[in-house]
Amino acid sequence: MAKRFGILTSGGDCPGLNAVIRGAVLKGGTVYGHEFVGFKDGWYGLVYGDIMELDRSVVRGLSNQGGTILGTSRFGPYSEPDGGPENIKKVLKNLGIDGVIAIGGEGTASASKRLFEDGINIVGVPKTIDNDIDATDYTFGFNTAVEIATEAIDRLRTTGNSHKRCMVLEVMGRHAGWIALHSGIAGGAHAILIPEQPESLNQVCAWVTSVKNRGRSPMVVVAEGFKLPDMEQAHSTKGLDGFNRPRLGGIAEVLAPLIEERTGIETRATVLGHIQRGGVPSAYDRVLATRFGMAISDLVADKAWGKMVALRGTEIERITFDQALANPKQVPTDQYQEVRVIFG
Amino acid sequence: MAKRFGILTSGGDCPGLNAVIRGAVLKGGTVYGHEFVGFKDGWYGLVYGDIMELDRSVVRGLSNQGGTILGTSRFGPYSEPDGGPENIKKVLKNLGIDGVIAIGGEGTASASKRLFEDGINIVGVPKTIDNDIDATDYTFGFNTAVEIATEAIDRLRTTGNSHKRCMVLEVMGRHAGWIALHSGIAGGAHAILIPEQPESLNQVCAWVTSVKNRGRSPMVVVAEGFKLPDMEQAHSTKGLDGFNRPRLGGIAEVLAPLIEERTGIETRATVLGHIQRGGVPSAYDRVLATRFGMAISDLVADKAWGKMVALRGTEIERITFDQALANPKQVPTDQYQEVRVIFG
Amino acid sequence: MAKRFGILTSGGDCPGLNAVIRGAVLKGGTVYGHEFVGFKDGWYGLVYGDIMELDRSVVRGLSNQGGTILGTSRFGPYSEPDGGPENIKKVLKNLGIDGVIAIGGEGTASASKRLFEDGINIVGVPKTIDNDIDATDYTFGFNTAVEIATEAIDRLRTTGNSHKRCMVLEVMGRHAGWIALHSGIAGGAHAILIPEQPESLNQVCAWVTSVKNRGRSPMVVVAEGFKLPDMEQAHSTKGLDGFNRPRLGGIAEVLAPLIEERTGIETRATVLGHIQRGGVPSAYDRVLATRFGMAISDLVADKAWGKMVALRGTEIERITFDQALANPKQVPTDQYQEVRVIFG
Amino acid sequence: MAKRFGILTSGGDCPGLNAVIRGAVLKGGTVYGHEFVGFKDGWYGLVYGDIMELDRSVVRGLSNQGGTILGTSRFGPYSEPDGGPENIKKVLKNLGIDGVIAIGGEGTASASKRLFEDGINIVGVPKTIDNDIDATDYTFGFNTAVEIATEAIDRLRTTGNSHKRCMVLEVMGRHAGWIALHSGIAGGAHAILIPEQPESLNQVCAWVTSVKNRGRSPMVVVAEGFKLPDMEQAHSTKGLDGFNRPRLGGIAEVLAPLIEERTGIETRATVLGHIQRGGVPSAYDRVLATRFGMAISDLVADKAWGKMVALRGTEIERITFDQALANPKQVPTDQYQEVRVIFG
């Protein structure tokens, strides 16, 4: 009888998830004769045995579809009363499923590792739109997000130039500034602000003013996780009515009025938000995701439980859950400095 | 000696402005032997005689460039101490300029009309990204904005589906909901909320819930000028600290938590903002803007001072400033109702 | 019992077909309580009773899908042995279908008219990517094709400039040059060649040379139906081996070597082909197609058999099959001349 | 006095060339105080001392511009009477230029190596849109080409599905099939044909038929350099008139009628051509090109003559001209086989 494996997608959605699913089902089916089901809504589907069949006809044409046909959630396999390895083993046995492919970020890898140690056959595909997993050069979704953010910079630039304004664009990146760094380089930003690298408001304003003095319109790209030094930040959260209160809106909406106030240059904020993570994946992400999907079907065939796939150079390699969890990948200081020299 | 005309762009920037300039310069130069200069930064350049030469080489390749090479501002020709018709007549005489082409919105048409009545040779090109001038079927910039908003809906939809969330997208439209209406139709939105048509929070939540009950993820498109009935709106501006205060952020950021609270459906807001008005114009807008530019050079050649160009069906026609100012074009109730029947 | 109507799409595919289907099903179902089925593969499905159910869940998310979910073919309702009105009446009766919505071009309108005269309840939606139906200002698909062709011009321009080459782009348009005209205007082409307007090779080469002499790289856009005067055309079809033979490839591939030979300017041809008619429809086409779809459901409800929908200005109107068939819409000479003055 | 360096771009244009130039000028100027000039039209400008100044204002906003502002040509530094190292040394001395940055492909690297051995201070940036240089993981331009080709596949797919046709898309790749491989994976092609891997017409038709039998529409992506075994190829070049003659058009135009004839499935060819290499570069290519440009300014500062830059994983490294020339990078058999298993 054909072996049967279950796939789940967990955490925030990301362009390329469907291409991973398609790659795994096509190669696993064609080469190894495996069958696949999908667990619905992440770990929820695994814990409650809520599945859908995944055959070739279901995954047709999926590589250019954003999001995930399986649904996703932030549910964890240990955190719910019905969760835990013993229950999951029963579910898998009842459904005749021989192993699990978990596609997700840090939380998913962490839960997968624990399930593996608790005796579940499980392998993983790394997923982070922020590109903050050190064990892989890139992950799918990141490229699409950078392309979208770059197009936004291109668009904002023409408005900035026409009105002689400073434009501030906020992009994703809570703990790592990769999207800001890459889109900022691609879009020719005059300042790129990321969580890893503190910059003072004075410095930002100096760059903005220098650009303006050359007769150009300043473009600032800021990752959502960037923070100004405390005093400056505090100032910005004092509302019009004089009450301090939790900051509403993003960092771009904090920065813009501060820049305008200090430099005298009219400044506008744009928060890109959710449009960075949805829609048609870039070709780059589809290729990477398809390769991850095909490679994970090899891991399953090899019973390489406890492993994940990763990109190194142009090759797909195998890593352990521990390697995936070892270090968050932040923008190194030297790489930031390399670009910072041409700010302003 | 060749006749010489000055072009200015005023008010918010808009995709297609450069194509108008190019169309006017190319046709005016080639067919009528006219020369052109640009006034910098809107009326400012006219009042202070700040100009740039506009010959064929300057406008080459301009049709696909967003923004305006002339710069723009919100400066008015009457509102500044140095403004006013007598000063402007002197400036034009000193610079040897025989007439003015003013590209702008309602304020620009209004000022142009007054200058015309005060004896200035002036013609106008309508510009409104919101499509709210009744005397013309469409204006350039609107199509580009709708395309960008529609792509955003396409992207948000995949995230909504993956997470089973309601997504709320805020698009431009302070007084008229055309961008919301067209992008909402194109993107298959489940509710479209516009300034012209009141809808209660209850109604919005009923649509959202009905979509959810069919197993789909609700997509709400809202124009920035849409307002909830007063009581509901007030509620939303009460912050976490209990103080009422002026609303920060857009209407989407007001609506999203209200929808989530009442329906129990996780809801996310995205405010599209400035990216709707910048960047490469759509082909549609380039064609319309080029035709407007070429037609305005005919008006100038005909000394049709006091007139503007407008689109009627597939033809470019001539209208008066009064016609352009007569009625703001809002979404008619019957046209809204036509679409409203398939909401939810 | 609910009334039941059948929809078919016939002839070449076109972006927006699915949005028409969706608009008709949503409005017809919600407002009038009608049910819909789709005939598969155009008239074939009608003649052989090959149908699929079209309920709300089938048309969900269809507005941004290219092509047609019903399939299409060039099969005619009279041309096959099993065709003809008597057979079709039987099919409709057997399937309990009260009327037909035929979406298609000139051939479809012509066949629909004959079926209507033979007693079939039928209404029509005009479809022509070439925009060559005079009774409607625009049809869906045209805008998407123009956007794609314009993007191609933008791309080719950079190569032309870098290599100081003349680039020739061939776009769709067998009998009418609308796509060439609009994309050529939008892309700033230096010559636009269309079937309706003869231009000699000498004239084309004069424009190309004039552009080159100004230090720029000539861009020529040519509709597939454009023909050089006979003698010149003949010359070009003589192959390397000296034999005259039927021309292979498109007109661009004929023109490019002739231009290069006569002007001495390196010239490259690109034939855009099928990518102009597929893929995600533009927002403009989705709106127009959705409005056509909703309006055709009104015609059906009104039993306005023998009628079609059409766009006039910003309004959807009703026309007869005869009006749709009356005049092909070609580019009028004065509209061509208006643009021709800035060629070269 | 500031050191002064000259930049040239040679060979076919490629998205990202301008971003390299900008990156070098910005970093070289800001960090090292270097000055830059551009040689016009490749080696021609070097041999004849035809230059343009490249200061910060010239390179502003260049990162999103396709093509090369310097112009390019296929002129070689040794092949012309006025070329050769002695003349070039004189030109450099006369113009006060201390070294040369040559951006180009294999021919450029080869000529650069010889010039270096003949005593010219020269460094290189690899450029190949086909991605066929083994010493670097990727080069700029390749990603943009893959994105464009993938979008074309997405578009063709809807037409294929609507008409139940087989669509054949020809993409760039004379000696290496990387663009076909990546776009084919991204677009979900059912067969990918590349120069490195022979496939018989029988095999291609078997895949096409198998797809058709599953009720889908076959999509074949073929690199321009792919060849059918001799006998089959010969057959296809016999024209309607029965004469053998040199093949006109691309391989797609050869394949399509052969597939149609053998399988009975209507088949259409599209040759993507020049639109793959022009226009706005993808963000990926802009980042890579900017990093190459900044890194080459470091090489110049280090007097690392005879070296080139290359991408390895996520790092920019230094290689010799010999390394760049050592091995063309072709698609390895195992990588092709990995994908081939899911064809059909």
Name the residue type at position D175. H
pLDDT at B230: 67
Question: Measured between alpha carbons, how far is A204 from A233 in angstroms, rounded to an integer?
Answer: 14
Q: Are B163 and A274 a contacting pair at CB < 8 A?
A: no
Interface residue of D30, D338, D340 to substitute, partner A, most A CBs within 10 Å: D338
* Residue B148 covered by a domain: yes
- What confidence tier does B185 reach under pLDDT thresholds 50, 70, 90? very high
Q: Say whether both C134 and C10 belong to one domain.
A: yes
Q: Are C186 and B290 a contacting pair at CB < 8 A?
A: yes
Residue closest to B339 by CA, chosen among C128, C316, C318, C129: C316
Where among A276, A292, A314 does a domain terminate? A276
- Which one is catalytic: A13, A41, A130, A298? A130
pLDDT at A124: 98
Q: Please check if D107 is assigned to a binding site.
A: yes
Residues annotated within a binding site of B for Mg(2+): 106
State the nearest Cα–Cα gap between B250 and chain C, in angstroms.
24
Q: Is the pLDDT of residue B236 over 60?
A: no
Of D157, D240, D269, the CB nearest to C246: D240
Poorest-pLDDT segment among A285-289, B12-16, C236-240, D313-317:
C236-240
Q: Say whether both A71 and A152 belong to one domain.
A: no
What's the whole-number mean pLDDT along residues D4-25? 97
State the nearest Cα–Cα gap between C65 and chain D, in angstroms.
8
Q: How many independent structural domains does chain D possess? A: 2
Q: Consecutive 10-residue runs of chain C (344 residues): their mean pLDDT? A: 95 96 97 98 97 95 95 91 94 98 96 98 97 95 98 96 97 97 98 97 98 96 92 50 48 96 97 95 98 98 98 96 92 95 94
Residue closest to B154 by CA, chosen among C69, A172, A173, C283: C283
State the nearest Cα–Cα gap between B282 and chain A, in angstroms.
12
Q: What are chain A's partners, defined as 3 or more CB pairs within 8 angstroms? A: B, D
| ipTM here | 0.94
Q: Say whether both A272 and A195 belong to one domain.
A: yes
Query: From A144, which residue of chain B is nearest by alpha-carbon distance?
Result: B155
pLDDT at D249: 65
* Residue A184 covered by a domain: yes
Q: Return the residue matching tokens 């120069």.
A: D195
* DSSP string across C40-87: TTTHHHHHHT-EEEE-HHHHTTGGG--S-TT------TTTSTT-SHHH
Contacts of C274 in chain D (CB under 8 A): 155-156, 159, 167, 268, 270
* Residue B332 covered by a domain: no
pLDDT at C244: 40
Q: Say whether both A195 and A117 belong to one domain.
A: no
Percent above pLDDT 70 for chain D: 94
Q: Say whether both C116 and C159 belong to one domain.
A: no
Contacts of D159 in chain C (CB under 8 A): 13, 66-67, 274, 277-278
Interface residue of A20, A58, A63 to substitute, partner D, most D CBs within 10 Å: A63
Question: Measured between alpha carbons, how far is A35 from D141 in angstroms, rounded to an integer?
Answer: 39
Query: From D246, which residue of chain C is nearest by alpha-carbon distance?
Result: C240
Tokens of D118: 């003949």
Interface residue of B18, B148, B172, B275 to substitute, partner A, most A CBs within 10 Å: B275
* Residue D339 covered by a domain: no
Q: Say whether both C150 and C86 belong to one domain.
A: no
* Residue C289 covered by a domain: yes
In Å, the largest CA–CA distance within chain C is: 73
- 3-class secondary structure, A27: helix
Residues of B recognised as catalytic: 130
Give tens-digit pLDDT for D231-287: 565 555 444 333 443 444 689 999 999 999 999 999 999 999 999 999 999 999 999
Q: Please check if C12 is assigned to a binding site.
A: yes
Q: Which CATH number does the domain housing residue B241 bear?
A: 3.40.50.460
Q: Say whether both D265 and D319 belong to one domain.
A: no
Contacts of B278 in chain A (CB under 8 A): 154-159
Q: Are D156 and C275 a contacting pair at CB < 8 A?
A: yes
Q: Which CATH number does the domain housing residue A12 bear?
A: 3.40.50.450
DSSP state of A187: H
Give tens-digit pLDDT for C169-189: 999 999 999 999 999 999 999
Q: Are A283 and D31 a contacting pair at CB < 8 A?
A: no
Q: Please check if D165 is assigned to a binding site.
A: yes
Where do the H-state alpha helices sit in chain B? 17-32, 43-48, 56-59, 85-95, 106-117, 142-163, 178-187, 201-213, 230-236, 251-263, 283-301, 321-326, 333-340
Q: Are B278 and A245 a contacting pair at CB < 8 A?
A: no
In angstroms, the first-to-last Cα distance of chain B is: 65
Query: From B246, which residue of chain A is nearest by alpha-carbon distance?
Result: A240
In Å, the largest CA–CA distance within chain B is: 73
What's the whole-number mean pLDDT along residues B202-208? 98
Contacts of A271 in chain B (CB under 8 A): 271, 273
Q: Say whether both C252 and C287 belong to one domain.
A: no
- Which one is catalytic: C41, C50, C118, C130? C130
pLDDT at B239: 41
Question: Measured between alpha carbons, how far is C100 from C110 in angstroms, rounded to an integer?
Answer: 14
Q: Are B186 and C341 a contacting pair at CB < 8 A?
A: no
Q: Say whether both A42 and A96 belong to one domain.
A: yes
Interface residue of A148, A159, A243 to substitute, partner B, most B CBs within 10 Å: A159
Q: Say whether both B180 and B222 belong to one domain.
A: yes
Of D72, D270, D274, the CB nearest to C167: D274
Contacts of B284 in chain C (CB under 8 A): 143, 146-147, 186, 284
Q: Are B274 and A245 a contacting pair at CB < 8 A?
A: no
Q: Are B282 and C282 a contacting pair at CB < 8 A?
A: yes
Full residue range of the structural domain in which residue A245 is found: 142-276
Sign of CA dihedral D321, D323, D328, D331: negative
* Residue B342 covered by a domain: no
Question: Measured between alpha carbons, how far is B159 from A15 in angstroms, rounded to an integer?
Answer: 9
Q: Consecutive 10-residue runs of chain A (344 residues): their mean pLDDT? A: 95 96 97 98 97 95 95 91 94 98 96 98 97 95 98 96 97 97 98 97 98 96 92 49 47 96 97 95 98 98 98 96 92 95 94
Residue B63 CA: distances (Å) to CA of B308, C9, C164, D40: 21, 36, 20, 26
Q: Are A65 and B158 a contacting pair at CB < 8 A?
A: yes
Contacts of C26 in chain B (CB under 8 A): 342
Contact B10, B126 (CB under 8 A): no
Q: Say whether both D17 and D134 belong to one domain.
A: yes
pLDDT at C238: 43
pLDDT at D58: 95
Q: Say whether both A72 and A42 belong to one domain.
A: yes
Q: Please check if D97 is assigned to a binding site.
A: no
Q: Are C294 and B338 a contacting pair at CB < 8 A?
A: yes
Q: Is the pLDDT of residue B21 over 80?
A: yes
The question of whether C137 is a catalytic residue gets the answer no
pLDDT at B233: 58
Q: Is the pLDDT of residue B81 over 70?
A: yes
Q: Please check if C129 is assigned to a binding site.
A: yes
Question: Measured between alpha carbons, how far is B254 from D336 in angstroms, rounded to an integer?
Answer: 53
Contacts of C72 in chain D (CB under 8 A): 162-163
* Residue B114 covered by a domain: yes
Of D183, D294, D342, the CB nearest to A283: D183
What's the whole-number mean pLDDT along residues B69-98? 94
pLDDT at A242: 37
pLDDT at C247: 41
Residue A28 CA: distances (Å) to CA of A55, A294, A299, B7, B209: 10, 7, 10, 65, 39
Strand partners, A244: A238
* Residue A343 covered by a domain: no
Contacts of residue B5, Cβ cutoff 8 Å, sequence gap at least 6 = B28, B34, B35, B36, B37, B97, B98, B99, B100, B101, B300
Residues annotated within a binding site of A for ATP: 12, 74-75, 105-108
Q: What are chain D's partners, defined as 3 or more CB pairs within 8 angstroms? A: A, C
